[in-house]
Structure 1
Amino acid sequence: MVRGKTQMKRIENDTSRQVTFSKRRNGLLKKAFELSVLCDAEVALIIFSPRGKLYEFSSSSSLSKTIEKYQKKAKDMGSKTAEIPMQLSKGNTLDMEKKIEHFEVCRRRLLGEGLDSCSIEELQQTENQLERSLTKIRARKNHLIKEQIERLKAEERKLLEEKRKLLEEIECGRGLTPVSREPPREEIRTETMDVETELFIGPPKR
């Protein structure tokens, strides 16, 4: 029969919890004893039950001596652990001071100061660094100038377009404003006249 996996949580049933405590306690004490015998190790084990009852095991003659040995060892390890960050901090501080000093020397050389103690190689390195810096500065300056020129051209095109539109509006306004001076054409009225005519034959009458 396959044994089910025990869930690692508190056993709610008091009886089951007590039985499990007794079994596991005896197994733990047995393992501690076996470890001390098989490996010639100094083992100390302290167990308090849920009700406060003490169970202990020590492979040496006295459990107190083992506890004192543990406390002393833990104290020494704590001191060494505290010394390590201090040493790291000092080392980091020295490294930072060296870097700051190096940067200050480089800055003075770039400004043309403190060159008396420089060798030819160091002067050549400084000159090369200045030339690289000047190349980058000029490239950035040219880029900004091009951007400014493009921006001014765009503004010029915009102003010309606005000027064109204004001229068109002025011309259109001039074509509509003047009033025509020609008199209005009057309608020609035609009067219908009735004419009497007689038809006769012969010479006309006087």
Structure 2
Amino acid sequence: MASGVDSFYFLSLGFSLLQVVKCDCMKMVRQKIQIKKIDNLTARQVTFSKRRRGVFKKAQELSTLCDAEIALIVFSATGKLFHYSSSSMMQLIERHRGLSENSDKLGQPSLQLLKENNSYAMLSKMLVDKTRELRNFNRQLMGEELQGLDMDELIKLEKMVDGGLNHVVEAKNDKCLKEISLLKKKESKLMEENAKLKKQAEKSEGTGNGIEQSNSSDCTSNSRGSDTSLRLGLPFAN
């Protein structure tokens, strides 16, 4: 009976020790591995071989599951080449190169557009500043906002106003002379037209007088003929 109890005790103790060892192993497995360069050359080569096969396997699975085109190129620390491609490696490389060139070309207009936008912003600011200066200058020419000007600026502004006024007067006088000349030309043309109309009227009056004289002569001749006929018919009355 005692031997049976001892056996049960040892079995329980062994089971407890197994549980402790299992927990320690699980803790060791779950511990994160620090990612850094492996100093031991042999361990480094073993890790490289395992990880490379794992990466290539994952790439193959990704290509099969998702119908993706994948190309992997790996050089070991000793310079040995390892590669994997789901299709032609050269075709995938050329495709990648073409996309890279297109992306570079697409990036250039963006830089050019950025430069143009900066230039446009500078020109817009210059235009706003120049417009403000011209607006202030026009107000000063009208005699407004003169408080901030010193004596030299006031004298300069006075000369500019006088010069501008002289130009205005000259332009006005020139305009008046041109209008007077135009009116004289119109007057001369009207006088010529009036003279022509007067001559035509006089000519029409002369023609009318000649027709009246001819009609009066015909009437006189007719009256004389009638008198003769009457005189010749008197003897037949007796």
Higher relative contact order (CA 8 A, sep 6+): 1
TM value normalised by structure 1: 0.48
Instruction: Give 1 or 2: higher helix fraction.
Output: 2
- Higher radius of gyration, 1 or 2: 2
Give the TM-score, by structure 2 length: 0.42
